[in-house]
């Protein structure tokens, strides 16, 4: 049994932000931090005070996290980015909102002196004495303190206040991971109610000292316990007045916390087997459960439920059968061919999820080069005469206004070129399309043709395929390439218009150039020759795509199963040490990296001979302090070589998102490794000591805890069968009352409980069996041992090494 926490985050938009640039505007972006650790950076939206992002993320976290904060900044090319404001949501706040936080939140001012982070290790004791007892406070160490100095570190010391007396530790220079091991004693006065206050400060020679955080200890609890030791979370000074408000603008967010207790696999087997049996029998069986699940699922939950079911069946090798059952169910209730798969049904939502999970790499291969070309060319493209902007053209000082006709003709040429290139790439991609997608489209094509066999519906099977492939997969990716990981940044206004027009053209081709689609926007007429040609190309492509036999499908899947497909690949910079000594001078060399389920490899080019780090040898993947190399976005992969000796590879990424994506990928594929580290050093061993904590023992215990459970969810994540089963169970439990009512209707039973507990008779109908399974799972959850009690706001559990 394991408790897993995750945050679903959607950063929608901002409004009424203050102008930070001299042109009266701003270039805003968001940074998301969990317990002061940056994990997400949105794209920058240029020259606006009301930016729209629409970016969605799912973050997996340890249950002990405390808060998530959203910082809005203004990007500056020549100076430090300006901080506009922030929104902070605590774990307790999110836990009290079952449907999550949705709405607008005012940005509050960010005071650098109040931005604290990190933890301090204390040992507190009440010591017997004559004539009075004494309070002994040992300040041992701290970790992950806020860097307050320009060198990327701090010079921390600690002040201990009690009963009017103050004592201080020594100053540890240039460290965010200081060790003091100093002890102070105070006389205890009987009945005194004053708290013990421990404050961390950054020492400065010239300016005033910077506040790093504090811990306030309840003395009544300490009297009762007599002794307490552990890591305490540093808190801001709440006595300072909170400034800021509506003048800084607002941020629209959707944030939902989900805590799941995942039981052992055996507990979910009855549920999984029951659902799989329903899918295997298809329409030949009772056919109750899947339609009832769709009927009882609200519209706003349908996408989530569809994704969970799809992943569950994908893990059981039944995704194609599940989708085929949904196709048949929808075809059975559809009378008009032109409304087929146009609603947000369970079939449509499941197919959308299926294409993203199984086909994202295929999408990148087909669309990637075309999208890159559109971004690189940055041409002005417009086909709507009412929106044409006349530009100056010419050279060598000879300029003349470009006519509207010339703009329209050049735009049509550009779009025809992009559309032709896209269709050509698509037609060449039949063999590149994953076998499971081809087989699923084969089933769809066959079912639709059987439902609408007459000649007047000749195009309907093709439109059924394109309604998913073009309208729900390719077109959204063209319009929003960042949301499909095709680009790192959002398109500017000019490029966005080009992408929108290209997506419209793809939709017209996907609709088989019907008169209805042509009539909507007559100004798209210049593209008609290419669209008509594209329809013929697309029909030929679909004919070849669905022409896959069972044997070929199995052969392709078997071939893929023998390969280790890349989990992530790309260009990174690896650290190389010059000379025989330790890190005296360093550089980063650009190499191509590829991570599979077997190894992390790197070479000069993808085709060059690679150096391998076996996956089983990885012990941790963590961030590196910026001061270590005077470079940001550096991570370290700690592993053992063939002789069992510890080694570290330092890799530099180009941005915070790439850094967190690589860390997530490495952590997820090595999560089951034996010998994973509980601590590590965020610095480097330079000279004779670690740069982070100044320890001289190179192989000693690390000064910070590892964060192996902090990961970002990606489309190509390994399937977690137990988690998906738990999520399906959670949904069904939420609609259990509706399911019981449905069961009473179907069985004609008027009793209050359709599945009497303890009757000894197992139900024989699928819905009755499902209700019995839900009851058994609920009892299993109730019988599972409770997790550790939630930690107090100021206290963390002791580190387990």
DSSP 21-57: STTS---EEEEEEETTEEEEEPPP--S-SS-EEEEEE
* Distance (Å, whole) CA 601 – CA 623: 19
What is the reported pLDDT for 793? 36
User: Cα 680 vs. chain centroid, distance in angstroms?
Assistant: 24
What is the reported pLDDT for 492? 84
What is the reported pLDDT for 576? 61
131 prior amide bond cis, ω within 30? yes
Token couple for 606: 């993808």
The tens digit of pLDDT for each residue in 61-101 reads 988 889 999 999 999 988 888 999 999 999 999 999 988 99
Token couple for 175: 């460290």
* Distance (Å, whole) CA 510 – CA 471: 7
Which of 246, 74, 233 minimizes the C-alpha distance to 144? Answer: 233
> Please, which residues bridge with residue 690 across strands?
685
Residue 72 in contact with residue 30, Cβ under 8 Å?
yes
CB atoms within 10 A of CB 642: 7
What is the reported pLDDT for 765? 84
Question: Which positions of the chain have pLDDT values less than 70?
Answer: 1, 113, 191-193, 239-246, 283-287, 391-400, 516-519, 550-565, 576-586, 749-761, 785-801
Burial of 59 (0-12, 13-18, 19+ CB in 10 A): buried
pTM (predicted TM-score): 0.83
* Distance (Å, whole) CA 86 – CA 290: 44
Token couple for 524: 């798209």
* Distance (Å, whole) CA 16 – CA 106: 10
User: Which three-class secondary structure state does DSSP give residue 94?
Assistant: helix
Which of 725, 742, 741, 740 minimizes the C-alpha distance to 780? Answer: 725
Which of 133, 120, 106, 270 minimizes the C-alpha distance to 191? Answer: 133
């Amino acid at each position: 049994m394991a408790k897993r926490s995750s945050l679903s985050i959607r950063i929608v938009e901002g409004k009424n932000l203050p102008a930070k640039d001299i042109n009266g505007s701003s270039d805003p972006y968001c940074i998301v931090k969990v317990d002061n650790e940056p994990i997400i950076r949105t794209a920058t939206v240029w020259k606006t005070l009301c930016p729209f992002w629409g970016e969605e993320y799912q973050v997996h976290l340890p249950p002990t996290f405390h808060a998530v904060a959203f910082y809005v900044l203004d990007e500056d090319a020549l100076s430090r980015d300006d901080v506009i404001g922030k929104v902070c949501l605590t774990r307790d706040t999110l836990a009290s909102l079952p449907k999550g936080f949705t709405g607008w939140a005012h940005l509050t001012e960010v005071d650098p002196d109040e931005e604290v982070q990190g933890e301090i290790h204390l040992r507190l004791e009440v010591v017997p004495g004559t004539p009075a007892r004494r309070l002994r406070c040992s300040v041992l160490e701290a970790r992950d303190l806020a860097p307050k100095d320009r060198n990327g570190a701090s010079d921390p010391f600690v002040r201990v206040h009690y009963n009017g007396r103050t004592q201080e530790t020594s100053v540890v220079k240039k460290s965010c991971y200081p060790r003091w091991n100093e002890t102070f004693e105070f006389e205890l006065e009987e009945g005194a109610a004053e708290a013990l206050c421990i404050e961390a400060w950054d020492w400065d020679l010239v300016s005033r000292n910077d506040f790093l955080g504090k811990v306030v200890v309840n003395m009544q609890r300490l009297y009762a316990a007599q002794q307490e030791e552990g890591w305490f979370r540093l808190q801001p000074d709440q006595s300072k007045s909170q400034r800021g408000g509506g003048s800084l603008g607002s941020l629209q967010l959707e944030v939902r916390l989900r805590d799941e207790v995942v039981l052992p696999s055996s507990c979910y087997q009855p549920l999984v087997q029951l659902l799989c049996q329903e899918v295997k029998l298809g329409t030949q069986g009772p056919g109750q459960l899947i339609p009832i699940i769709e009927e009882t699922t609200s519209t706003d939950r349908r996408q989530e439920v569809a994704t969970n079911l799809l992943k569950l069946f994908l893990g059981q090798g039944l995704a194609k059968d599940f989708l085929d059952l949904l196709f048949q169910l929808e075809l059975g209730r559809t009378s008009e061919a032109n409304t087929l798969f146009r609603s947000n049904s369970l079939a449509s939502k499941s197919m959308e999820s299926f294409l993203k999970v199984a086909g994202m790499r295929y999408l990148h291969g087909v669309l990637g080069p075309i999208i890159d070309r559109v971004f690189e060319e940055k041409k002005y493209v417009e086909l709507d005469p009412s929106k044409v902007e006349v530009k100056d053209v010419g050279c060598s000082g000879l300029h003349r206004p470009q006519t509207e006709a010339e703009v329209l003709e050049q735009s049509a040429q550009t779009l025809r070129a992009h559309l032709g290139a896209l269709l050509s790439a698509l037609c060449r991609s039949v063999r590149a399309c994953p076998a499971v997608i081809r087989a699923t489209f084969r089933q769809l094509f066959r079912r639709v043709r059987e439902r609408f066999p007459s000649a007047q519906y000749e195009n309907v099977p093709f439109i059924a395929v394109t309604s998913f492939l073009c309208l729900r997969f390719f077109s959204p990716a063209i319009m929003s390439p960042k949301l499909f990981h095709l680009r790192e940044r959002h398109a500017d206004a000019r490029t966005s218009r080009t992408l929108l027009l290209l997506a419209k053209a793809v939709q017209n081709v996907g609709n088989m150039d019907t008169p209805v689609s042509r009539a909507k926007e007559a100004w798209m007429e210049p593209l008609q020759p290419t669209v008509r040609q594209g329809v013929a190309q697309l029909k030929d492509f679909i004919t070849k795509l669905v022409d896959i036999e069972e044997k070929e499908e199995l052969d392709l899947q078997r071939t893929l199963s023998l390969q280790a497909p890349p989990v992530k690949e790309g260009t990174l910079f690896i650290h190389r040490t010059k000379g025989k000594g330790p890190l005296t001078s360093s550089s980063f060399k650009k190499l191509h990296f590829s991570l599979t389920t077997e190894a992390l490899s790197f070479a000069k080019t993808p085709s060059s001979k690679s150096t391998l780090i076996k996956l089983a040898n990885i012990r941790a993947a963590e961030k590196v302090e910026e001061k270590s190399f005077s470079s940001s976005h550096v991570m370290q992969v700690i592993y053992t070589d063939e002789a069992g000796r510890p080694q570290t590879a330092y890799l530099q990424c180009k941005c915070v998102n790439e850094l967190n994506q690589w860390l997530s990928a490495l952590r997820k594929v090595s999560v089951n490794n034996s010998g994973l580290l509980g601590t590590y050093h965020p610095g480097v061993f330079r000279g004779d000591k670690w740069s982070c904590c100044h320890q001289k023992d190179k192989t000693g215990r690390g000064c910070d805890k590892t964060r192996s459970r902090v990961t970002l969810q990606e489309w190509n994540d390994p399937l977690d069968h137990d988690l998906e089963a738990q999520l399906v169970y959670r949904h069904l439990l939420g609609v259990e009352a509706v399911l019981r009512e449905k069961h009473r209707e179907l069985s004609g039973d008027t009793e209050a409980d359709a599945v009497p507990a303890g009757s000894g008779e197992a139900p024989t109908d699928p819905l009755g069996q499902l209700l019995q399974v839900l009851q058994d799972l609920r009892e299993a959850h109730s019988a599972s041992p409770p997790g550790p009690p939630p930690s107090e706001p100021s206290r963390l559990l002791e580190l387990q090494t």
